[in-house]
Structure 1
């Protein structure tokens, strides 16, 4: 039996960045579902001016504070206290001083919950896009982009659209890796030898996947506010995120597909260059909180 009120935990992220500011602005400017309750996980002194309970996290450095906030959030989810997480941005470099193999929220949470199949998905009212490879050097992408990796991302996109977004028969577009999706092998063989077979395997499993589409024209020719695809699978970080962040930055949310609970975050970083100046835009944080409320 599900709880009538869902508890959304929100981590402070890096306390020296804009995370605390956009959280405060979100609760001053945003309106959220009455069926949700909220708890902030971070330094109490940073959130004195908003009427939201805070689990105080003492720390000595920003990296330590960000990691301890995340560790407490994981414990709260595992203990059934919190139903969903919204994570404010942190510095991977700062956290790595306390956990050497730290690569980001996505990988950390997947490991904490024993999840092997997971993806970064970026969601707005007009687009849902996931990545086969995440925070890796571009030169490593072709080796990591195996048939299994591509098929797993297609299948997880299909599963997530059905389970979380309640789309009965989703259509999934798959982008090519090379210019013009390889131009029949002239500009690279991965589209023919890796992506194409993965798409056919997905189709054999009953998934309505299509592609590979040339990435340079896809977002012009195929995507619209009422586009014909419910989800898009991109091969690497900037291929997928450069166009959608350009078009939908303020409404875009990072969602982790594959976790046993809902986790969202804004799509911007800690923005140290404007931190403390009161000018950070809270739109993506507001969207992240709203999506967590809707999906949990």
Structure 2
């Protein structure tokens, strides 16, 4: 049987992404790994890690086995040779082209999933391109509504808002947006994780979930009425829960996933517990996309010491989700 083809993008050329891909290629992961980036960039990254890897042009032919250290490459040249730790805006178009190829390749079924290494948003914006992240880019590319979820073996956290200034979050918590998000999370917990009746804990926006309106009215005016409506449809929704107690063991046993209102409300809990085992997953896309849960680590770039654990976890989750999708397709 042919191995599933995983597209892997290297992200910021001056960051740790290329080195992480070299280390991923050195594992015995049962996948046909296709790196979408510059071939010479990968060769230099492997050398910095002290690894000997084989880089083959990707011709799209099925592979039934992959030797550790073997990596296929869809070559997209850099505009400027990377200097580890020093992002160059001239390479912004290279980064965006790799993402476009990964997304379009998944839509065309050339790849079973895409796994993304971290990129540097500032470098792309400095090149004059409006860009707020992988999640938003893939949503725009596919014209779909998406939700960011970070998942570890112990906890799943989805976000109602992603890369927004904290001052902009309350206005973004609208009934329409929150309903769309909860419906996506509910459907994807069923489709991707096989949970027939998902239980979702919804956090309040304000301290103590608003304290009955004394610490903010978003819970009373928006969150609670929506949860009541969706519960009437049969969704199992807890909350709104105070964020400071939602993650204690007694609460965790009651839900399958958490919906946080903003980026830093819940992710510190997740990352402090399982930083090397957490995966960023985009829900709602017409294809599978997973990623690391960390940034470009410019201070580590070029040293060969970056830990590939999160990228390996992302690749393994992508394979698990692709296998479930393939099985359901065969049974349909």
SS at match of 1:259: coil
Mapped partners of 2:250, 2:214: distance in 1:
24
The aligned residue for residue 85 of structure 1 is: 114
Which of 23, 32, 42 is the aligned partner of 2:21? Answer: 23
Q: How does 1:186-197 map to 2 (within 5 A)?
A: 186-197=214-225
CA shift at 1:72, angstroms?
A: 1.9
Judged with a 3 Å threshold, the aligned counterparts in structure 2 of structure 1 residues 148 and 167 are, in CA distance, closer, same or farther, namely same
Which of 161, 185, 189 is the aligned partner of 1:157? Answer: 185
TM-score by length of 1: 0.93
The aligned residue for residue 251 of structure 1 is: 277
Judged with a 3 Å threshold, the aligned counterparts in structure 2 of structure 1 residues 269 and 252 are, in CA distance, closer, same or farther, namely same
| Equivalent residue pairs, number | 288
Judged with a 3 Å threshold, the aligned counterparts in structure 2 of structure 1 residues 196 and 31 are, in CA distance, closer, same or farther, namely farther
1:120-168, CA deviations, whole angstroms, 9 ceiling, x for partnerless residues?
Answer: 0111111111110110110011100011222222221111110111111
SS at match of 1:250: coil
CA shift at 1:119, angstroms?
A: 0.5
SS at match of 1:218: coil
The aligned residue for residue 42 of structure 1 is: 37
Mapped partners of 2:263, 2:220: distance in 1:
21
CA shift at 1:4, angstroms?
A: 5.8
1:169-205, CA deviations, whole angstroms, 9 ceiling, x for partnerless residues?
Answer: 1111000111111111111111111111121122122
* CA contact 1:121–1:131 (8 Å) conserved in 2: yes
Which of 105, 122, 125 is the aligned partner of 2:153? Answer: 125
- Consecutive unaligned residues in structure 1, runs of 5 or more: none
Q: Does 1:172 align with 2:167?
A: no
Judged with a 3 Å threshold, the aligned counterparts in structure 2 of structure 1 residues 222 and 31 are, in CA distance, closer, same or farther, namely farther
Larger Cα-atom Rg = 2
Mapped partners of 1:217, 1:144: distance in 2:
24
The aligned residue for residue 75 of structure 2 is: 56
Q: CA RMSD in A?
A: 1.6
Q: How does 1:266-285 map to 2 (within 5 A)?
A: 266-285=292-311
Mapped partners of 1:56, 1:37: distance in 2:
16
CA shift at 1:222, angstroms?
A: 4.1
CA shift at 1:100, angstroms?
A: 2.2
The aligned residue for residue 314 of structure 2 is: 288
- Consecutive unaligned residues in structure 2, runs of 5 or more: 44-52, 54-68, 80-89, 323-332
Which of 247, 258, 261 is the aligned partner of 1:235? Answer: 261
SS at match of 2:276: helix
Which of 232, 236, 239 is the aligned partner of 1:208? Answer: 236
* CA contact 2:278–2:310 (8 Å) conserved in 1: yes
Judged with a 3 Å threshold, the aligned counterparts in structure 2 of structure 1 residues 190 and 221 are, in CA distance, closer, same or farther, namely farther
SS at match of 1:242: helix
